Structure 1
Amino acid sequence: TVEKIFALVRRIRQKTPVPLVFLTYLNPVFRYGYGAFFARCAETGVDGIIIPDLPFEEQAEARVAASAHGVEVISLVAPTSERRIQRIASSAEGFLYVVSSLGVTGVRSEIKTDLAAIVASARAASKIPVAVGFGINTPEQAAAIARVADGVIVGSAIVRLIEEHGANAGKPVYEYVRRMKAAVKSYEN
């Protein structure tokens, strides 16, 4: 439930200052009420939110409520956003999430999008970090993306490990993240 997630955030926040960002569809936020939801985010320690089904052009209402509580609404740029990248990036908060490929989320064996061009367009319009995600699951993919972006976002591969190992997922997830982090670090300046 939403309340259990907020309770989890409160416990995590007691152990780490690392920024925490929700990734959720709009419906739970809307049903909770923008003001109440973002007040709870601030109270428990959520720093930002990614709402993939909330188009950039329709973010105003959510942004106003989020901003009032110090929560950043992270914008997404898809490979099809070419004409909108400048507008989206220039008003982005926190970081800009560049979607690596079209389709549903999940691991991909290959990413064919011209990420360097998308990242360059975003950087021309904004000074905030640009992170790339969506389908990234190998250290080689992470290293390649680290060459052009400020961050690499990995989700589905970790969820898959948790699904596979259940209550014993701690060590496999740790090892996987360690390998991905090493791959990214190998290309940091």
Structure 2
Amino acid sequence: MSVNWVMLTQDGSAPVPLPQEKMFFTQSHVKLVLDCNETAGGYPGNSEGYYESSNGTVILSNQRIVYLAQETSAEFKNLNIPILNFKNWKLEQPWFGANFVSGVVLPVQGGGLTKGGNLKITFTEGGAIEFTTILRNLLERIGESNEIPREYEPLPAYQQPPPPADDLPPQATTSTTSTASSTSSTTAKG
């Protein structure tokens, strides 16, 4: 996991794709809370290691989870989590309130954070079930192959090739066959 390390496109609306990366899910109007103090035994909600965004966009690809805050600050602009660094996650569907996904994120070397934290992604306008379904399928594929899948999409529909320009066999083959049959009939008579 890394904070404020996502490379963005020129307009700043999307992350620059990594090599072999495919984006599968994008949802706006998502709230994020990352508390790195709680897992380290510190005081939950302490200003250092606590990141919160009331509105942003979450993007799920075959390699990572990216969160882009709509209103950025010097402390928090975006979050990048390799999908293998999102552990013990679960989908919560409360009676009152929006569905959310919570779990533990592990830091990556050179990512700006030295300790992991508890992450809560609240989907205020839907999308939590689709997000977790895609995430679960990606993690199953990784578990089966022990590598990050380059593509997680169905094969393209089969299209029949166009018919050849000339359906007749070449002339050389036809004349050889007729010569051979006339030779064999002459040999049989004589």
**Coarse TM-score class (shorter-chain normalised):** under 0.3
Q: Which has the higher contact order (CA 8 A, sep 6+)?
A: 2
Based on CA coordinates, which of the two structures has the bigger radius of gyration?
2
TM-score by length of 1: 0.28
- Indicate the structure with greater helix content: 1
